Amino acid sequence: MFSMDGQIVIVGGGAAGMESAGQLARSGYHVTLIEKETITGGHVRNWYHLFPDRRDSREVIKYFDDLINHKNITLLTGLKVEGIDKHGMSFIVNTNSGTEIKADAVILSTGFDLFKSERKEEYGYGIYDNVITSADLEVMFRKGEIKLHNGVIPGKIGIIHCVGSRDEKVGNLYCSKLCCVTAVKQAMEIKEILENARVFCFYMDIRMGGALYEELYRESQEKYGINYIRGKVSEVSVNIDNKLVIKAEDTLVGRPLKMELDMLVLMAGMEMSESSKSISESAGLATGENRFFSPADHHFGSNKGNVEGVFYAGTCTAPMNITETISHARAVVSDVIGYMNNGDR
Amino acid sequence: MQFDIFIIPFNIGLYFIIFYAVVRSIRWFRDLSRSDKLRLQRGFFGTPFGQSIKEIFLESLIHRKILKTNFRLGYMHLSLAFGWFLLIFFGTIEADIFGSKHLNAPYKAIFFKFFNPEHGRMGFEAVYSFWMDLILAFILSGLLLALLKRLTPGVVGMKKTTKLKTLDKVALTSLWLIFPSRLLAESFTSGTYGTGSFLTGTLGSFFASFLPVQELAYPFWWLYSLSLGTFFVLLPLTRYMHIPTEIFLIFAKNSGITTGDKLGAFSEMQTYSCSSCGICIDACQLNFSAGINNIQSAYLMKGIRNNQDVSDIAFNCLMCGRCDQKCPVGIELTPIRMIRRRAGESTISEKSIWKKYFPDRQIIPSAKPYIKPSYNWLPGTDPEKTDVLYFAGCMTHLTPAIISSMKKILEASGVNYNFMDEKGGVCCGRPLMLAGQDKEARELINYNSQLIWKSGAKTLVTSCPICYKIFKESYYLDVEVLHHTQFIKNLIEEGSLKLSFLRKRVTYHTPCDLGRGSGVYDEPKVVLNHVTRLQKSDFEDENSLCCGGSLANLKISYRQKKMIARDVAAELTKNNPDILATSCPLCKKTLAAATETKVADIAEIVAEAIVQPVLRKNIPDTFHRIKEPVNLI
Amino acid sequence: MGNFGFTLIKERHIDFDANDKSIAEYISDREPSFRICIECGCCSATCTSGNFTPFSLRELQILLRRGENNKVKDEIRKCMLCGKCTLVCPRGVNTRNIVMLAREAFQKQEKYAV
């Protein structure tokens, strides 16, 4: 039996971690929030504006910062969790500095890593100058300028969907869900900075499965004139003027398409975070073929796993957007409270 | 007159098999091409004769190659083959010295103890008796191993044993009965007469103490004769045909006959020489990495011998050459597989017994070739004149790091070069050849040859070993064909490339088409040693592994390829090298997907090490450093 | 009431029920990955032959699946079997085997005998 004095450790100080920490603290539990970087915020800090409504990510970060500013939350940054050992009903959380932290329940909100686009060698990331990822582009948005490697303003920009997702050749069969709407959003943002630029999205499918996403897609075509070409780009090369040349088939017309672009943006997918590998191995946590944590039940057990007392929140279970992450984090709170009150469920 | 009716089965069997072997050899000789007949005659009556006799002794009897690969398996074969040879040889001398006459019919040697039961009590006879018993014990030890191998292949260090058909099983049983029945027959006779040496004598006296040995002996002599007879009569229908065939094959091989492109007497001889020893199955990565164990060379040979449709077997192979290299009989397994690929599907026909013993010459109707040309839509050629042509190859376009590295190296070397397939070229033709489509491949070969010839180039450098192999073997160009590792080695030796030393530990993966396929083992390693710390690996040179990405296998799925790639990558990175180096774009792509270690082509490593300033001539700045993630807030 | 639309222009429409899908079945039985193609066009984009002539493997695959075999019979000869398509396919379709099987199926079918 646990009392309100129960200690809960949350691994990962991103959106899911901070949300669940804040909600648990407000329910009266002591929470230790451990984050491996020196600041919290996870990937949200790296985005400029968020879909669907293009609001500033700083507002969301402020919400999270305020949320974890609570007396019941102990925040430990710059500390990486290496493993979790279960002893009876409690846990020892081992960190890379050697510190051991006791816990009655553990929430893993270790999040995701972006697919390393060098692995898709034929797209030339790391080989050609002006091939960048969606994350690199967000940096440019924050600076308010988009420039090529040599400082020139690009005239034609291409966006490639499904880089590192839906691709057996890189070992990720699943869809990362968010890249399509990110591509649409980023296409619009490019046009807002560079009015005369022409933007081309190369897709296999346009997946707009979220509230207001389809409307965003329509807006991108109507107001911003974004061009959508259905055809997966097979390879990228450079020509004599250092312009990028892509090869794709325009499948809807049924003919091959060749295009010169100044810049290419790769929509990198989401992968299970590398840092959670040692945690899942140490505790014997089940992972799926997609390497994310396997839920105990797909419908009513998505916050729980195969080890009692270890819970999951956020993108460490599957790709999801910030709204879904916050909902998922609030759900885990309910599971954890139930667990702490009843001992075992 | 020393005679008994029980020897008749043996006599029938023996004379039959001698007759059969002679007739079959004559047929094979007759079916050889004229030039091959001449070669064989020269080989038989000339210097290779001695070589062949030596090889027959070392390989067919002693099984030296198998002993080197796998000692226990080799011992098993050695004890049966060499042991039986010794038994016959010394048995014949025994009958000669101690028998009633000097020249005896063979049965008198084989059944010596029956006809001379009092022999061997003392003196030289006893010594000789001891020697014969020792040989028998030698054979029986191998027989025990063979029996265990059927049950647990691990006992001879193998992972799997070859599957047998019914006739093989009958022949196997009769073969296995021969020596135990000899042992028992001789023991019972020894027991009856109180003779025999350490094995037969001891057993004999032991049995005599509680069994009616005098009555038991005769049935076992019958069994001995029957098992010998059965074995000899069934031999041509089973895999044991390899025993006589191998001898003829050794003469043929040493006379310089090769398989070539078509079916013929030589390829038939080779398929019959396969003893189904199973070494090819053990060496095959499709077996131990992907669990596919019904398509290895031993099964291909068996399928051909039994006139089955082998097209599924023929196409499901990486053509990596590991089995060729390990085959103790030296059968040219890969060329034979290629012949079957060209033929496409074959018909299965039921054969009469006569046809089974004396099959018609193997003629498979090949698929009707498509009459119209397949590639006449290719554009006309008008290439620039140049000294050096660089042909990246189809696959290399999917590994652009190799292309940008080669551009850097070519620029730094200062040669006058033209990037032949920069905007996409025509395939070299080897994938078509590997699929058995020779006619179509020839069209592409002609097209590319035109391009190369018109450009006036003296040297052709390619990045892809697949292309390299066909350029060298099937293109008949009079230009120098180099793989880029050979080209780089030349540049280093000329002094055209100044390279620094990278403090990186590198393991090299030899691509199949470059290594076993073309014999280029040293140049890549010379280049790597020049620039990095090259590590040794357990799988080097001829023994190297296949990455699994092979274009030659049309049948396996990507997942199965990945299983092979993972095993290979794990093996090659077990010493944690900094880089896993290779010299083939397909190997690079396949291995890079299977490991976290950095996989790089030799060209990339060399390009990184170039010291002299690069002549800027529209080459993109190749190594864009990836920025660290930045906090935007 | 008259004949217009689908029934009028017979060559234009795909008469799915009447079309001969046996070639597609032949291939699908021997190469199950034939079924998982999502028509993304990556194969056609990278195709060596596609650089020189109007050849689209994606199109040929979909035509086979719809039973429009006549259009595929000669076109499928244009493939050089280079293997780039197999290397880029995101679904892991064994495209080279499909080309070989299609050629085999056409040769076997008497109706389309070479």
Higher pLDDT, B244 or A62: A62
Per-residue pLDDT at B214: 83
Instruction: State how far residue A134 is from chain B, nearest Cα, in angstroms.
Output: 12
At A203 the three-state DSSP class reads: strand
Minimal Cβ distance to B633: which of A45, A149, A238: A45
pLDDT band at B620 (very low <50, low <70, confident <90, very high): very low
**In the predicted model, what is the mean pLDDT of residues A25-38?**
95
Q: Which residues pair with A100 in a beta bridge?
A: A94
Cross-chain Cβ contact B401/A168 below 8 Å: no
C1 found inside a domain: no
- Selection from B532, B533, B526, B542 nearest residue B485 by Cα: B526
In a domain, A163, yes or no: yes
Task: Kindly determine whether residue C90 and residue A249, on different chains, have CB atoms separated by under 8 Å.
Answer: no
Chain-chain contact of C94 with B554 (C-beta, under 8 angstroms): yes
User: Residue C114: its pLDDT value, please?
Assistant: 44
Is the confidence at residue C25, as pLDDT, over 60? yes
**Considering the domain boundaries, does residue C10 fall inside one?**
no
Question: CATH number of the domain that A294 lies in?
Answer: 3.50.50.60
Structural domain of C60 = 22-112
Contacting subunits of B (3+ beta carbon pairs below 8 A): A, C
Contacts of C114 in chain B (CB under 8 A): 368, 370-371
Q: State which of A250, A270, A290 marks the end of a domain.
A: A270
- Chain-chain contact of B626 with A127 (C-beta, under 8 angstroms): no
Is position C6 within any domain?
Answer: no
Contact residues, chain C, for B377 at CB < 8 Å: 52-53, 78
Q: In chain C, how many domains are there?
A: 1
> What is the pLDDT at residue A130?
95
pLDDT score, position B307: 81
Enumerate residues 6+ apart whose C-beta is below 8 A from B478: none
d(CA B533, CA B527): 11
ipTM: 0.89
Q: Is B19 exposed, middle or buried (0-12, 13-18, 19+ CB in 10 A)?
A: exposed
Q: Which of A50-54, A95-99, B107-111 has the lowest mean pLDDT?
A: B107-111
Give the pLDDT confidence score for residue B625 in this predicted structure: 38
Q: Is residue A1 included in any domain, yes or no?
A: no
B536 to chain C, minimum CA–CA distance in Å?
30
- Average pLDDT of span B318-342: 92
Domain count, chain A: 2
Q: How far is C18 from chain A (nearest CA, A)?
A: 24
**Which positions in chain C touch A254 (Cβ < 8 Å)?**
56, 59
Q: Are residues A264 and A122 in the same domain?
A: yes
What's the whole-number average pLDDT of chain B? 87
Print the SS3 string covering chain C: CCCCCCCCCCCCCCCCCCCCCHHHHHHHHHCHHHHHCCCCCHHHHHCCHHHCCCCCHHHHHHHHHHCCCHHHHCHHHHCCCCCHHHHHCCCCCCHHHHHHHHHHHHHHCHHHCC
Give B 542-601 residues with CB within 8 A of chain A: 558, 589, 592-593
Mean pLDDT of B400-423: 92
Are A165 and A282 in a shared domain? no
Backbone φ and ψ of A81, nearest 5°: -85, 125
What pLDDT band is residue B627 in, cutting at 50, 70 and 90?
A: very low
CATH of the domain at C69: 1.10.1060.10
The rounded distance, in Å, linking the Cα atoms of C32 and B366 is 27
Looking at the complex, does the CB of residue B616 fall below 8 Å from at least one CB of chain A? no
Q: What is the mean pLDDT of residues B237-260?
A: 87
State the pLDDT confidence band at A118, using cuts at 50, 70 and 90: very high
- In angstroms, what separates the C-alpha of B440 from chain C's closest C-alpha? 8
Which residues from chain A sit within 8 angstroms of residue B589, using beta carbons?
A: 121
Q: How far is B390 from chain C (nearest CA, A)?
A: 17
- Indicate whether B353 pLDDT > 60: yes
Range ranked top by mean pLDDT from A325-329, A338-342, B408-412: A325-329
Of the residues A240, A270, A300, the one at which a domain ends: A270
Contact A129 B592 (CB under 8 A): no
Closest approach of chain B CAs to the CA of C95, in angstroms?
Answer: 9
Q: Count interface pairs A-C at CB distance under 8 A.
A: 67
Better pLDDT: C44 or B260: C44
Establish if C45 touches chain B: CB-CB under 8 angstroms: no
CA distance C30 to chain B (A): 9
Contacts A41 to B, Cβ<8 Å: 633
Interface of B with C (CB under 8 A): 344-345, 367-368, 370-372, 374-375, 377-379, 394-395, 397-398, 423-427, 429, 431-432, 435, 437, 440, 444, 551, 554-555, 557-559, 586, 589
The reply to whether A140 and A242 lie within a common domain is yes
- pLDDT band for position A66 (cuts 50, 70, 90): very high
Overall average pLDDT of the A32-43 stretch: 95
Q: Which parts of A159-286 fold into alpha helices (H)? A: 179-193, 213-222, 277-283
If you average pLDDT over residues B4-17, what whole number do you get? Answer: 89
Binning pLDDT at 50, 70 and 90, where does residue B515 land? very high
Q: Is the pLDDT of residue B617 over 70?
A: no
Residues A264 and A133 in one domain: yes
Q: Which residue has the higher pLDDT, A197 or B239?
A: A197
Contact B110, B228 (CB under 8 A): yes
Residue B160: pLDDT above 90?
no
Structural domain containing residue A66: 7-111+273-342
Based on the domain organization, do A125 and A155 belong to the same domain?
Answer: yes
* CB-CB under 8 Å, A169 with B558: yes
Asked, for residue A312, whether it belongs to a domain, the answer is yes
Share of chain A above pLDDT 70, in %: 98
Asked whether residue C8 is assigned to any structural domain, the reply reads no
C87 interface with A at CB cutoff 8 Å = yes
> How many Cβ pairs closer than 8 A exist between chain A and B?
71
DSSP state of B56: I
Residue whose pair of structure tokens reads 């082998």 in the numeric block: B310
Check CB contact of A35 with chain B, cutoff 8 Å: no
Contact B624 A126 (CB under 8 A): yes
Share of chain B above pLDDT 70, in %: 93
| CA distance linking residue B19 with residue B27, whole number of Å | 12
Tens digits of residue pLDDT in C40-86:
999 999 999 999 999 999 999 999 999 999 889 899 999 999 999 99
Quick check: helix, strand or coil at residue B388? strand
Q: Kindly state whether residue C79 falls inside one of the protein's structural domains.
A: yes
**Residue B438: count of CB within 10 angstroms of its CB:** 18
For residue B613, is the peptide bond before it cis, meaning its omega torsion is within 30 degrees of 0? Answer: no
Computed over every residue of chain A, the mean pLDDT equals: 94
- Between A177 and B50, the more confident residue is A177
**Residue range B18-49, pLDDT digits in tens:** 999 899 888 888 888 888 888 888 888 888 88
HEC string of B245-271 equals HHHHHHHHHHCCCCCCCCCCHHHHHHH
CB < 8 Å to C46, chain A: 234-235, 247
- Burial classification of residue B574, based on how many CB atoms lie within 10 Å of its CB (0-12 exposed, 13-18 middle, 19 or more buried): exposed
With beta carbons less than 8 A apart as the criterion, state whether B387 and B416 touch: yes
The predicted pLDDT at position C9 comes to 64
C-alpha atoms less than 13 angstroms from C-alpha of A23 in its C-beta half-sphere: 20
- In chain A, what residues touch C40 (CB-CB under 8 Å)? 204, 231-232, 251
Q: Which residues in chain B are closer than 8 Å to C92, comparing Cβ atoms?
A: 557-559
Residue C8 clears pLDDT 90, i.e. is over it = no
A237, β-bridge pairs: A245
Cβ of C59 under 8 Å from any chain A Cβ? yes
Distance from CA of A206 to the nearest CA of B (A): 26
Same domain as A263, residue A160: yes
- pLDDT recorded at residue C109: 83
Q: Which of C51, C92, C107 sits opposite B557 (nearest CB)?
A: C92
- Per-residue pLDDT reduced to its tens digit, A203-258: 999 999 999 999 999 999 999 999 999 999 999 999 988 999 999 999 999 999 98
Of A217, A246, A270, the residue at which a domain comes to its end is A270
Diameter over CA atoms, chain B: 112
Q: Are B140 and B179 in contact (CB under 8 A)?
A: yes
Tell me, yes or no, whether A123 and A41 share the same domain: no
- Cβ of C92 within 8 Å of Cβ of A169? The answer is yes
Is C38 part of the contact surface with chain B (CB cutoff 8 Å)? no
Percent of chain A past pLDDT 90, that is, above it, reads 94
Are the Cβ atoms of A47 and B632 closer than 8 angstroms?
yes
Give the nearest chain C residue to B421 (CA atoms).
C48
User: What is the band of B399 on the pLDDT scale with cuts at 50, 70, 90?
Assistant: very high
In this structure, is residue C16 part of a structural domain?
A: no
- Whether residues C80 and B424 touch (CB distance < 8 A) is answered with no
The stretch B179-189 carries a mean pLDDT of: 90
β-strands A100-103, A90-95: how paired?
A: antiparallel
- Is C4 part of any domain? no
Residues A54 and A124 both lie in one domain: no
Give yes or no for residue B514 having a pLDDT over 80.
yes
3-class SS of residue A74: strand
| C91: in domain | yes
Segment B79-86 shows an average pLDDT of 91
Which residues from C are below 8 Å from B554, CB to CB?
A: 94, 96-97, 100
Does residue A227 lie within any of the structural domains? Answer: yes
pLDDT of C2 higher than 60? no
How much is the pLDDT for B463? Answer: 96
- Region B224-248: what's the mean pLDDT? 89
Spatial CA neighbour of B511 closest among B339, B421, B395: B395
What are the φ and ψ backbone dihedral angles of A180, each rounded to 5 degrees? Answer: -60, -50
For residue A82, give how far its alpha carbon lies from the nearest alpha carbon of chain B (Å).
20
Query: Chain A within 8 Å of C40 (Cβ-Cβ)?
Result: yes
Half-sphere CA count of B423, side-chain side, radius 13 A: 6
Please tell me whether residues A255 and A320 are part of one structural domain: no
Q: What is the pLDDT of residue A48?
A: 95
Q: What is the pLDDT of residues A167-196, one digit of tens each?
A: 999 999 999 999 999 999 999 999 999 999
3-state SS class at B319: coil
Chain A residues whose CB is inside 8 A of the B399 CB are 121-122
Kindly identify which residue of chain C lies nearest to residue B441, measuring between CA atoms.
Answer: C80
pLDDT in the model for residue B172: 87
Nearest CA in chain B to A245: B423
